[in-house]
Amino acid sequence: MSTVSTKYGELKGVEFRSLFSNKKIDGCVVTQENILKTPYGSLVPVYESEDLGRRNLKPVYFNKDGSLKSISLQSQTVLDTPAGKIPAELVTFYKNGSLKRIFPLDGKLSGFWSWKNELALTESITLDTPAGTLTAKFIGIQFFESGALKSLTLWPGETIALTTPVGKITARKGVAFYETGEIRSFEPLRKIDLSTPIGMMSAYDNEPNGIHGDVNSVQLTIEGTVEALSTVDHEVEVSTPEGSVRLFKPGIKNNVCGDERKISVPMKVRFEKSRVIFHDNPDSSFDLQSCRFDVRQWAPKTEEPTYSCAG
């Protein structure tokens, strides 16, 4: 065992470490109590674990320059952050030492320990955000290097009320911000009608991807106009000056349970400068001024996705 010096103090009882090509320490496991002094509070890296929901002796990780990259904490610790006091079990940092992400819980998901077990341990947190004071159960909180709030990720079933440039909405999954505080994206709980450069469209993603709220299906420009959305309710017919006509619409796929039920696959629509792009495909990009767009209702016989196949 050895001792490792860090920006926030020494790590003693280092039992394992891996090396970058430049011989700097990548990460280590500690087997005794260490206290690292940070601007956000005193942090004790995990050195023993008997908790079913915690991973076994997670290491402390470093960047190539030797600065701390992430720390798994021995016990949940309340940190002083620009958004308020936040309990943390896992913390990641930028190279300059500022907070990057905070995870209130850092459980070991397995056949014996599910996200529902984790959620049962979670308590609501109140944060000061650019969208006002928000209280909910958060999986993760992300900051910009400047300390400004970047995104919030909600636990399944959690919602927050937001006042956005496109109206008051209820969001699930998460919300993301520009560094200057404007709302960058959100995931609507229910279908919402939005004004776009090609007309009114219903925005909703019936299967929002990912486990974080950094990028959501409704995306706004810094000025507050719609930059992108997902829809399961509209199709768009595009007529070009050359006389060609193309139709873009949501898709249909089988329900995950393998039965006869069908579910919709959202159509992604993005607006960039003077163009509209369908399904994030460069070959499906059209000029807003020279093309004609006919937005029509799309109503196939589909159902909401089902994740429990019992019954």
* pLDDT, tens digit, 9 for 90 and up, residues 94-104: 999 999 999 99
pLDDT at 107 over 90: no
Is residue 103 in some structural domain?
yes
In this predicted structure, what is the pLDDT of residue 16? 63
Tokens of 121: 């341990």
**Is residue 48 situated within a structural domain?**
yes
Supply the pLDDT for residue 311: 46
81 domain residue, yes or no: yes
pTM: 0.87
Q: Is residue 19 very low, low, confident or very high in pLDDT (cuts 50, 70, 90)?
A: low
Does residue 187 lie within any of the structural domains?
Answer: no
Confidence of residue 194 (pLDDT cuts 50, 70, 90): very high
Whether 228 is in a domain gets the answer no
Determine what percent of the chain is predicted with pLDDT higher than 70: 82
In the chain, count H helices and then E strands: 1, 28
Domain span at residue 98 reads 1-123
CA 90 to chain centre: 16
Asked if residue 26 belongs to a domain, the reply is yes
pLDDT tens column, 36-80: 999 999 999 998 866 555 556 677 888 888 788 999 999 999 999
The domain total for the chain is 1
Residue 297 lies in a domain: no
In a domain, 93, yes or no: yes
* pLDDT average, residue stretch 173-200: 96
Residue 220, burial from CB neighbour count under 10 angstroms (0-12, 13-18, 19+): buried
Confidence of residue 203 (pLDDT cuts 50, 70, 90): very high
- Tally the C-alpha atoms within 13 A of residue 72's C-alpha that lie toward its C-beta: 20
Average pLDDT estimate for 83-96: 94
Cα gap 191→220, rounded to integer Å: 16
Tokens, residue 33:
């109590």
